[in-house]
Structure 1
Amino acid sequence: MPNTRTKRFISGVVEGFYGRPWTMEQRTDLFKREQKWGLNTYLYAPKDDYKHRMYWRDLYCDKEAEQLKALISAAQRHNVEFVYAISPGLDITFSNPKEVAALQRKFDQVKGFGCRSFSLLFDDIERDMCPADKQAFSTFAHAQVTITNQVYLHLGEPEIFLFCPTDYCAAFSTPNVSQSSYLHTVGENLLPGVDILWTGPKVVSHHITVESIEEVSCVLKRAPVIWDNIHANDYDPQRVYMGPFKDRPTELIPKLSGILTNPNCEFYPNFVAIHTLATWCKSGADGGQRDIEMSEEEQDPNYSPQKALRMALTDWLQEFLITDQPGGPRQTDEPMQTDGGELAYVPGPGENPLFTAEPLTLDDLNLLSELFYLPYEYGPTARTMLHELDWLKSHRGVVTTATVTDKTAEWHSRAQQFDNMCEAVVQMFNRLSNAPNRRILYDLYDYICDIKSGVGLARAYVKTMVCFLSTGGRGGPSAQLMNDDPEPWGFRGGLSGEFQRMLPCHGNRDLFRHPPMTTVYSIRPYCPEDKVDIQKIFSDMRREEEGTMTTQDSLISYSLAVGDLPPSPQCALVLEDELGLCGYALGFTEVKLAAAKFQRFLCDSVLEDFPSLITMQLLPRVIDPTPANRMIASLLSSIKATGSKGAFCELRQNDCRMLDFYNKLGSFKAIKMSTLPQEIIIMGISL
């Protein structure tokens, strides 16, 4: 008979990540936290416990058995239901009775340890069946359901028995949830007393909506138990998540059989994840906590993620301030004694004062959380820092002029504000590093070192811009920041980063999307009044080149820019922004006669294939490549309309910006000529 007992709502933690499993001490600590915060379940499923997954057939030895018995007893003492999971999907033969017997024998052993709740997991495995299973079962789902039902009945239909399907989220469901034959087979054939785990729309779901749960519940014929990976970090060793449980409305709670969070691999940073989950679970019970203050951005009438986060961080701060081992930071105002009974060193007048560790604050933990927030968003401070750095880069052109304007003052003010935010990160790092509870610190240390380094590089870059731009670009960039042979600590990544940067879509999943350009550019035809401005742009950019030039050979394009050679009709465009003229693109359709007058190193064969000349220059404040692309396209179109077979441009090797621009276009190719001076590069395009 199917299990008809009323089940309580499952809430708690699943240890289901890849990586080093938690220690026995940490798990016992978890049970205490769960009891204190009102959570009731722990699912034991560490992927790297060999006898959970890879060697699932092997029974536990005496020592392992004693550890599991102690763990199960500890959970029961704290009113936490211990759910033992096996993950046999890597190599099980479903049709072999001996395999089923091995599975039952393993569960029986753990049941003998005092365990009352169990789980079978078939996640993250190949979907192909062996020939023997293909003969015995019509589908993969049928095979899984059959063996799960057998084990469930063998164990006496336990009150809690969890099944994790291979298609455990909507993204894996083919062609979709409502039409998935796999999910329909599971829903129709799995015994009703078995609960089904589900991660939501994705493996790591951003939002889980009521509508999506109602859809899958209809197919599975039961309310699922959410296995929530919102705080999981086992897929990227450079990430950790300490933001609040969010983007799951409390209206979900009556639609679910339960919810378990599968959090960070590091135990101690999970304080916020588990604490805020507990607050969410309580908020949906009995009408929710209606007294929670809501912000305008929050839609859930019962639960405020920011309020829950503040509560969690307040409690977490108390744990940071507990000394957990001998030799930790001093927590006393009494003078330190030496072995000889002498007082500690006291600096004299004019000497450096002794280092004094400032105490960790709630604001520090709030900043920590915002820097390491959630998979799909950064916290407010992190977003602000990214936007400010982007704004400072985008508007650096306003401080290259000698005249002090309101925009110049704004740029320097925002640069100072950015520096202040960076300093707050450094101070947070220093106070965390001196917190008495070293266990928490050691779990966090790699992450806070990394963010301190990243922020430090950004801070140095802005300071370099302040100096570089304030001197009109004459001071030169920072040697440390721009060094082409940096030390390993000077860049982030490793081999994985190298591979990603070589791929065409690198960075398209960064959380910080480059904001739309706020600068409005105007492209219009050249008029005689523009001559002076074009000459100024040419002179300014030419001045930057002079420091690295070894030859003073004049180029035809120089004559075109200064007005000695007038551009051909319909072949001259200028670019304007809110500050005025900031770029130009000029063309000359028949350059052979001009070449004879101004330049001797262009050979006739090149001019035969590329009879037209183009030149373009942009001020450094133009960082958006779009207007430059449009100008070149329009200019080449006008030149082609005259019947020209091709066009070329002249560049010096030290004009890195324009070289990079033409190379990225892809249609311009370098033209080799033995008569060219070493510093001159000719690039051509056939029309």
Structure 2
Amino acid sequence: MSTASSAKRKTSSGTRRFISGVVEGFYGRPWTMGQRTELFKREQKWGLNTYLYAPKDDYKHRMYWRDLYSPEEAEQLIALISAAKQHNVELIYAISPGLDITFSNPKEVAALKRKLDQVKEFGCRSFSLLFDDIETEMCPADKEAFSSFAHAQVAVTNEVYKHLEEPETFLFCPTDYCAAFCTPNVTQSSYLHTVGEKLLPGIDILWTGPKVVSHKISVESIEEVSSVLKRAPVIWDNIHANDYDPQRLFLGPYKDRPTELIPKLRGVLTNPNCEFYPNFVAIHTLATWCKAPAVGGSRDVEMADEEQDPCYSPQKALTLALSDWLQEFMSTDQPGGISCPARLKKELSDEEPMQTDMADNPYVPGPGENPLYTAEPLTLDDLKLLSDLFYLPYEHGSTAQAMLQELDWLKSNSHAAVSEMDETAAWCSRAQQFDNMCDAVVQMFNRLSNAPNRNILYDLYNYICDIKSGVGLARAYVKTLGGQGQPSAQLMNDDPEPWGFRGGLSGEFQRMLPGHGNRDLFRHPPMTAVYCIRPYCSKDKTEVQRIFEAMQRGDGRTPLMMQPPLITDGLSSGEMSPSPQCGFVVEDDVGMCGYALALTDGKPAAAMIQRAISASLFEDFPSVVIVQVLPRVADPSPAKRMVAQLLSVIRSSGSRGVFCELRQSDRRMLDFFSKLGSFKPVQVEGVPDGVLVMATSL
């Protein structure tokens, strides 16, 4: 490398400037030229300096990389390059020939040079060759010419770099662009070692971190890959990318990358959400992160749930970004901005709004008529909630976590909704808190829908509609658990409306795979069937007996005649009938799959099997219950609901408490009652070996 070209790589301070900015590198609809120009304005305002042009589905970038740009396309690119320069943003033009290039064919290399020469004529001075997301098997011609895939890529990249006269900025994206792709690991990867040793030193290398979408990027991991690549990498950060899942959007702050990384990197480029306008937070917080070491700062004492960076607080950066974003939402001078009604324009501007014929005679509702709809203004709290609901790939925001935790608790403790007064009051209080959080989501949706800047709203709309619907279903379910609503219309119907469930074909495939839900905050068995709970009637006796016998035969248990008898065996076998209204059965699409039966007075049943039990047990717990559910019912919710309804009936009869007897061999029902929470083991004299008694007060 010449001394002159080495010198031109350095700033006036003697060091190369830190690359910081945005890569448009996602799969899907590319951004428009107008959006990219808007991006340059924001980058200049926030102190970022780079834009990497690499939209995967721009067909002349990747699929048809050999094709030259038409005069119309050339005019657009020339304008884009000019706009970037105008805002002091370095536009790096990237090309991805790896899908079908024959590295050993001189004509292919000539086509690549010709394409980049054309872009150079447009005024571009920075370039990038990308070999990500391609097959690693070389064609026979390349296998004859090169000893490895890495050697083929490096040879072509070095040749193109020299042909372009060693540009000041030239980036190379390896096929193994994260630690997870390296075989067997980063330090022993022959591919990375070849790249590090053979790629010319003026070429910078892109790297996504430990994974394609990295949760955290540590200083140690960057030092490791830098030693192999023999240069500091440029991070291509996918933390805010959402092109892999159409249901996700990421509005959380740039985080889990310590600012100690900055002096050990050549730069950081974020590859954010496909939708342009929601990327405000991702890019704004990255800019705050990049400036943090230079600005300095004290340790954030408010951050107690993560390792603290003395220079950068993700939460403070998020609040700063959301405050600025709020102003964007309220802006009406954006293309596509809403045509505001006169009363809203008066609030937003001191100028008198344009008058129309209708404005001269505005509609005034009469007595008893609906008042005019008035849009409430969007607030910073609304945007904080929005960010919490669509936070980051590996975590939900604090409010979203709280909502999930409350829903999980309300489901797990649904028996408390019909238990003792104190328990019921506590459950109802938390149910009301959950309802309030759901209402905040609905109100946030309404205010977002009324925001003047429609461009941002349209990018967000599918996501906020989806979360509003999901929250609405959860809200209705909790009301049902509390006895305030009927679930059949939305949750327990065997023919629900399509908006009552999620996923389509992709969702069905995932639910059939073993890993589905393993990244969820709560990992419960998925409900794959619709269950119907109804009162027990005399014609159910045969089916109850069949389930009872099936459960006794299951798991190789000792035959019933050789097991110690239980007080409730007579209920299950049909020899005794449950007390009035003290029976429930659960059915799925196959048929009856479980039951819960009770006697408000258990003494006659004990006498039938000649069981001598202390009077104190019947004094405290006069009633007895039996629950059985077939193993095909993986979801514990139906059994919990039956027990809750049964206990409510027994309490209404005046009973003080309920007990159940369980054979210790029946591990499934032992586990069920143990996790139920209300039933506790009690010591009772006269109970045979192998039998456990559990009871609860009413």
Give the TM-score range, shorter chain.
0.7 to 0.9
1:488 to partner: Cα distance: 1.3
1:447 to 437, 454, 463: 463
After superposition, where does 1:609-648 map in structure 2 within 5 Å?
620=641, 634-635=665-666
1:544 to 564, 584, 590: 584
Letter in 2 for 1:52: H
Letter in 1 for 2:399: T
CA deviations 1:303-350 (Å, max 9, x no partner) are 000000000000000010011346533323489966366421112233
> 1:84 touches 1:118 (CA, 8 Å); kept in 2?
yes
1:351 to 363, 369, 375: 369
Identify the residue that residue 425 of structure 2 maps to in structure 1.
409
After superposition, where does 1:167-206 map in structure 2 within 5 Å?
167-206=176-215
Distance 1:508 1:494 in 2: 19
Letter in 2 for 1:385: M
Identify the residue that residue 340 of structure 2 maps to in structure 1.
329
Query: CA 1:199–1:335 in 2, change beyond 3 Å: closer, same or farther?
Result: closer
Query: CA 1:97–1:423 in 2, change beyond 3 Å: closer, same or farther?
Result: same
After superposition, where does 1:369-408 map in structure 2 within 5 Å?
369-401=387-419, 403-404=420-421, 406-408=422-424
Unaligned runs of 5+ in 2: 11-15, 347-351, 526-562, 589-594, 612-616, 618-622, 630-637, 645-661, 674-698
Q: Check if 1:109 corresponds to 2:122.
A: no
Q: Normalising to structure 2: TM-score of the pair?
A: 0.75
Identify the residue that residue 31 of structure 1 maps to in structure 2.
40
With 341-350 and 302-311 compared, the bigger mean Cα shift is at: 341-350
CA deviations 1:159-210 (Å, max 9, x no partner) are 1100000000000000000110100110011011000000000000000000
Identify the residue that residue 160 of structure 1 maps to in structure 2.
169
> 1:537 touches 1:583 (CA, 8 Å); kept in 2?
no
Q: Check if 1:462 corresponds to 2:473.
A: no
Identify the residue that residue 16 of structure 1 maps to in structure 2.
25
Distance 1:19 1:546 in 2: 47
CA deviations 1:589-621 (Å, max 9, x no partner) are xxxxxxxxxxxxxxxxxxxxxxxxxxxx96548
After superposition, where does 1:167-566 map in structure 2 within 5 Å?
167-285=176-294, 288-290=296-298, 294-298=302-306, 299-323=308-332, 324=334, 325=336, 327-330=338-341, 331-333=344-346, 339=357, 342-401=360-419, 403-404=420-421, 406-467=422-483, 477-513=487-523, 543-545=583-585, 562-563=605-606, 566=609
Letter in 1 for 2:496: P
CA deviations 1:395-431 (Å, max 9, x no partner) are 0011223x41x22111000000000000000000000
Letter in 1 for 2:500: G
Letter in 2 for 1:499: F
Distance 1:258 1:533 in 2: 75
1:622 to partner: Cα distance: 8.0
Name the SS of the counterpart of 2:345 in structure 1. coil
Query: CA 1:633–1:110 in 2, change beyond 3 Å: closer, same or farther?
Result: farther
After superposition, where does 1:577-592 map in structure 2 within 5 Å?
none
Q: Check if 1:136 corresponds to 2:142.
A: no
Name the SS of the counterpart of 1:285 in structure 2. helix
Q: Check if 1:70 corresponds to 2:57.
A: no
CA deviations 1:277-321 (Å, max 9, x no partner) are 0000000236x3348665233511000000000000000000100
> 2:598 touches 2:626 (CA, 8 Å); kept in 1?
no
Distance 2:226 2:610 in 1: 71
> 1:164 touches 1:197 (CA, 8 Å); kept in 2?
yes
Letter in 2 for 1:543: G
Letter in 1 for 2:126: S
Structure 1: 4+ residue segments shifted above 6 A: 334-337, 526-538, 557-561, 580-586
> 1:83 touches 1:118 (CA, 8 Å); kept in 2?
yes
2:61 to 52, 56, 59: 52
CA deviations 1:484-520 (Å, max 9, x no partner) are 11111121111111111122332122244569xxxxx
Letter in 2 for 1:485: D
1:480 to partner: Cα distance: 3.6
Please give the root-mean-square deviation of Cα atoms over the aligned residues, in Å: 3.6
> 2:130 touches 2:172 (CA, 8 Å); kept in 1?
yes
Distance 1:456 1:161 in 2: 50
> 1:269 touches 1:440 (CA, 8 Å); kept in 2?
yes
CA deviations 1:635-656 (Å, max 9, x no partner) are 499xxxxxxxxxxx9xxxxxxx
Name the SS of the counterpart of 2:263 in structure 1. helix
Identify the residue that residue 642 of structure 1 maps to in structure 2.
none
With 337-346 and 421-430 compared, the bigger mean Cα shift is at: 337-346
1:150 to 159, 174, 192: 159
Q: Check if 1:87 corresponds to 2:96.
A: yes
In the alignment of these two chains, the number of paired residues is 569
1:546 to partner: Cα distance: 11
Name the SS of the counterpart of 2:395 in structure 1. coil
Distance 2:479 2:254 in 1: 37
Letter in 2 for 1:509: R
With 536-545 and 150-159 compared, the bigger mean Cα shift is at: 536-545
> 1:533 touches 1:581 (CA, 8 Å); kept in 2?
no
Distance 1:320 1:362 in 2: 11
Distance 1:451 1:65 in 2: 41
Distance 2:240 2:211 in 1: 14
Query: CA 1:58–1:449 in 2, change beyond 3 Å: closer, same or farther?
Result: same
Distance 1:177 1:152 in 2: 26
Distance 2:222 2:508 in 1: 40
Name the SS of the counterpart of 1:11 in structure 2. strand
Letter in 2 for 1:328: S
Distance 2:358 2:416 in 1: 64
1:244 to partner: Cα distance: 0.2
Q: Normalising to structure 1: TM-score of the pair?
A: 0.76
Unaligned runs of 5+ in 1: 469-474, 516-525, 549-554, 569-573, 575-579, 587-616, 624-630, 638-648, 650-656, 659-687
Name the SS of the counterpart of 2:129 in structure 1. strand
Identify the residue that residue 595 of structure 1 maps to in structure 2.
none
> 2:428 touches 2:482 (CA, 8 Å); kept in 1?
yes
After superposition, where does 1:664-675 map in structure 2 within 5 Å?
none
Distance 2:89 2:130 in 1: 21
Distance 1:581 1:308 in 2: 59
Letter in 1 for 2:366: G
> 2:385 touches 2:441 (CA, 8 Å); kept in 1?
yes
Identify the residue that residue 694 of structure 2 maps to in structure 1.
none
